[in-house]
Amino acid sequence: MMQRSHKYYRIMQTGRSSVHDVLRNKPKLFALISILVISALALPVILPHATHPTMIYHIILHIISLILAVFLSCVSILAYNRNRNARMLLMMFGFSLLAVVELLYLFHSTANIRDIIVPIVDAEFSHLILLTMLALFGIGVLKVSK
């Protein structure tokens, strides 16, 4: 019985270390995020527009931007978990908002959603997200460490 539990523990450690290996290895993390984003968007976004030569380039541009934004969000989340300081938290939220706005732009470019207008300021919602993202980055850069 003791050998069986030891074997189970070793398997759990191997699985846990492989996850930590991916999280520490930036190229592997980037590859994993790329595969996940492309897999998730292939059917609803890429395939319906694959035959439109000019449209597919626009979509690919937004998918690459989304992959980079998600990757930077993940890296900033990992950095915040290590350091736990306010600057990292602001950067994490900024990159996460960048991923959200890129997703909105992607779906807008494929006509899956229309522009969302905020009536009070008569501005597109994506522009307000970008402004918030820039404000978070600015505060994070200008924040004085104590």
Cα 114–chain centre separation: 22
Which tops the pLDDT comparison, 16 or 129?
129
* Lowest model confidence (mean pLDDT) among 10-19, 39-48, 113-122, 128-137: 10-19
The pairing of strands 117-118 and 123-124 is antiparallel
Which pLDDT score, from 0 to 100, does residue 1 have? 47
What is the pTM for the complete model shown?
0.81
pLDDT in tens, 39-66: 998 888 888 877 877 888 888 899 999 9
Q: Which residues neighbour 28 within 8 Å (Cβ) at sequence distance 6 or greater? A: 21, 22
- Comparing 3-12, 87-96, 97-106, the range with the smallest average pLDDT is 3-12
Tokens 């290895």 sit on residue: 25
Alpha carbon of 110 to those of 23, 65, 107, 128, 135: distances in Å?
32, 15, 5, 21, 28
Q: According to the model, what pLDDT value does residue 3 have?
A: 52
